Structure 1
């Protein structure tokens, strides 16, 4: 039964860090003025106790990991650090000028690229620069992504002193063969060292990212990786599927052959085995592909119905406005999305014109806002309801007809005015969300856009 479900539901599908998903943005109806209008509207509604979130993209890496689809610039030249920090702070100053009032910052996340490519001093200059024109919310949450090979004790101490309490390390897999294939060679002791350092300094949430479905990955590799992870006891884990998207230019995923990648039943076994081991070691499933100990804030947010998901991934608190700073960053005013240019030189040039370097975006319709809420509910709480007429939409009967087969397969429960994802359906939550995705249903992709759902 399980194998037949994998064959049935393993189709290309979005990961739903947003709705509408980026390929379905209506860019023709988007404008710089439309973005700044919704930016100011959302800021007026949210600045205060809730505050805003900042995602800061730090794109530089010293080497290319061939599993990665993120926007990055490969270089060993660290003279690029200062100009980039100055540019990000200039972008922030333009935002502050548009907002017109001192922002209260609830969340900061440093992503990449490799944030720890930057020196501790430059990271300090960045964060201090942000708060020359902003204040910290009462219960602020700052986090960053650390590369186990180049995160130093000084990085961890400096960021802790600046208010950071959460760090996530990209582990991927401990197999030497797999690491060589994805060009991410890092021994276990490197991960152990930075994990112990973070705990010693006082970080309250340490995360590890593990990927299943990587080239040459075998069942024994997943078991070994989970066993080693258990010995370090990270507070939370992202255990997610490798997104094989070799058609995206410049993502480095043509470094191995398609036949080197585990698929279908074999790939699902990697996930099911890993998940079982995580459960046995006290981790709880939180949303899609995430696990946490009961003591972690992500678990607490899930239990209280406060879990949120945006372009930064899962978060233990929601802010209506998220500003993305840096090349390729995406901002979210709730009413619209806006993405910065992806080319570094273009980013610098547009900032010289004293403009936010946005090049595309999407203004959400009333229908988009309703569908967005349902997909967020499914992604964060494994259930959604349309009992409130404000979130009812006329295609609901068609959605339920489409979901009936999934109910027959034991993946969800359809109630009078709601649906609930069953435990067996949690690995298929992306497929369930696709039933609500009206834009995807109205216009099927004509080219390869998404990775496989399983």
Structure 2
């Protein structure tokens, strides 16, 4: 890759799991009642046709991984499981009362934290509790994140019996020195064991999550990690750029020296090597930082232009309404975003007071909806168009003008109808989306908000 382009475009920028991005939400004009109105609207428009999605945040971990930027609570006390599940189910029942009729669930994702911190019987209690007030869509996709060190055969079997067919295992890197630096000691044998269990039980999509740009990571360590990954041949892969954001409150990303982090072209070389090795083993690049075998649903969605992106990342299908349950979860009604409180104590207090635990959000205006569509198109389809009058906005001409530098650098192809991202432009997809980010363009951040784009 052109080193000068990396130096030019490697700037702080969003990952665009939403637009507007969270730092640019208009929290002053947001109200909980306005959020509830949009949730009801989205539910009424789509429940019978496409169903809804649930993201359930399970925040507990037994130890702190120093690469992680997620909301978590570190504890070895498993007595926290029962009260948390009771609170999540009470929150769900509040939403069911609000929506007014029985939801049809198309997608469930259990994230964390560490979902497999929870006992299999408690996960069964959680999912059965959800379906006391809901039905499955005819075609559903239920998935969860499994920690290879504590995911048991019983975890996998229990969730399979409840309809889960997709699991992603957090691998990061197999090099012991790197595992020590990020406080995540996890031998290959542990991953191999849970992967083979999942295949044996019948999971149809097994994913591995890898990270490039970790402390002390080299091209040799990446090559060795990918060689082991290819021995297991997961159906899909997430190959994330390590997001170094130690300034965020409660973040554990200070467990290593920043001089140990590969930067700029050295970091991007890790991705390029990974991409080459994945493609040699039959994987296709999907959107940003994802790869899938051609037998996997993520590949089929990308090929059929059905790929979607939200706070859960890339998904194989879209629902207008996604409800986030649990501490810090974010919900999306298409017309608005709403985030739950981040502390467990406050979450419990609001649930016990029979209040939805939402503390901030954003109601999208017409311009937001148009820009969101363009950014989704770029992130998911690697192209967007403005021939349709409904996709035009007041500042489109100035945005198009700003795209010419990307054309000169051969990152996009631009026409009167729209743009297409070139193969060379895929690593810079976040920068391309930033050209449409009117919220950020109008309000340049004075302090660091985002991780580096490359």
Fold shared, TM-score > 0.5 on shorter chain: yes
Q: Which residue of 2 aligns with 1:118?
A: 118
Q: What's the offset of the Cα at 1:240?
A: 1.3
Corresponding residue number in structure 1 for 2:253: 253
Structure 2: 5+ residue stretches without partners = none
Mapping of 1:10-159 within 5 angstroms? 10-159=10-159
The whole-number CA distance in structure 1 between the counterparts of 2:283 and 2:59 is: 32
CA distance in 2, matches of 1:193, 1:407: 47
The equivalent of 1:219 in structure 2 is: 219
Map of 2:436 onto structure 1? 436
SS in 2 for 1:29: coil
- Quick check: 410-419 or 52-61, which moved more? 410-419
Matched, 1:243 2:229: no
Distance, in Å, in 1 between the alignment partners of 2:332 and 2:367 is: 17
SS in 2 for 1:239: strand
Distance 2:162 2:61 in 1: 23
1:331 matched to 2:331? The reply is: yes
Q: Distance in 1 between matches of 2:261 and 2:333?
A: 38
Aligned: 1:304 with 2:304: yes
Contact (CA 8 Å) 1:236, 1:293: kept in 2 or not?
yes
Instruction: Look up the match of 2:315.
Output: 315
Deviations 1:251-305 (A, max 9, x none): 1101112111000111011111111111111100111110000000000000000
In 2: Cα distance, 1:221 partner to 1:272 partner: 14
1:409 is the counterpart of 2:425: no
Give the Cα–Cα distance (whole angstroms) in 1 for the partners of residues 396 and 423 of structure 2.
Answer: 23
Matches within 5 A, 1:262-277: 262-277=262-277
Q: Secondary structure of the equivalent of 2:294?
A: coil
Shift of 1:446: 1.1
Residue 401 (structure 1) shift: 1.7
TM-score, normalising length: structure 2? 0.99
1:416 shift after superposition: 1.1
Structure 1 residue matching 2:435: 3-state secondary structure: helix
SS of residue in 2 equivalent to 1:53: strand
Please state how far the C-alpha of 1:410 moved relative to its aligned partner.
Answer: 1.0
Q: Deviations over 1:185-223 (max 9, x none)?
A: 100010011111001100000000000000010110100
Alignment partners' CA distance in 1, 2:293 and 2:317: 17
| Residue 394 of structure 1: how far off its partner (Å) | 2.2
The match for 1:373 is: 373
In the other structure, the counterpart of 2:187 is 187
Give the Cα–Cα distance (whole angstroms) in 2 for the partners of residues 259 and 400 of structure 1. Answer: 39
Measured in 1, the distance between the counterparts of 2:68 and 2:91 equals 26
Q: Any idea what the Cα deviations from partners look like across 1:432-452, whole Å, max 9, x if unmatched?
A: 000000000000111110000
Residue deviations 1:298-352 (CA, integer Å, cap 9, x gap): 0000000000000001110000000000000000000000000000010000011
Q: 1:49, CA displacement in angstroms?
A: 3.0
When structure 1 is superposed on structure 2, of 385-394 and 54-63 the one drifting more is 385-394
Contact 1:49 1:137 in 2 (8 A): no
Q: Is the CA contact (8 Å cut-off) linking 1:105 and 1:134 kept in structure 2? A: yes
Moved over 2 A (4+): none
2-structure distance, mates of 1:271, 1:407 = 23
Aligned residue for 1:440, secondary structure, equals: helix
Distance 1:130 1:450 in 2: 35
Q: Which residue is 1:7 aligned to?
A: 7
- In the aligned structure 2, how far is the partner of 1:11 from the partner of 1:396? 23
In 1, Cα distance between the equivalents of 2:397 and 2:376?
20
Where do residues 351-366 of structure 1 align in structure 2 (5 Å cutoff)? 351-366=351-366
User: Displacement of 1:355 after TM fit?
Assistant: 1.1
Q: Secondary structure at the match of 1:57?
A: strand
Structure 1: gaps of 5 or more residues: none
> Structure 1: how far apart are the matches of 2:400 and 2:274?
32
Q: Which residue number in structure 2 is paired with residue 229 of structure 1?
A: 229
Residues 49 and 138 of structure 1 are in contact (CA less than 8 Å); yes or no, is this contact kept in structure 2?
no
Q: In the alignment, is the contact (CA less than 8 A) between 1:9 and 1:431 conserved in 2?
A: yes
Q: Hey, what does 2:169 align to over in structure 1?
A: 169
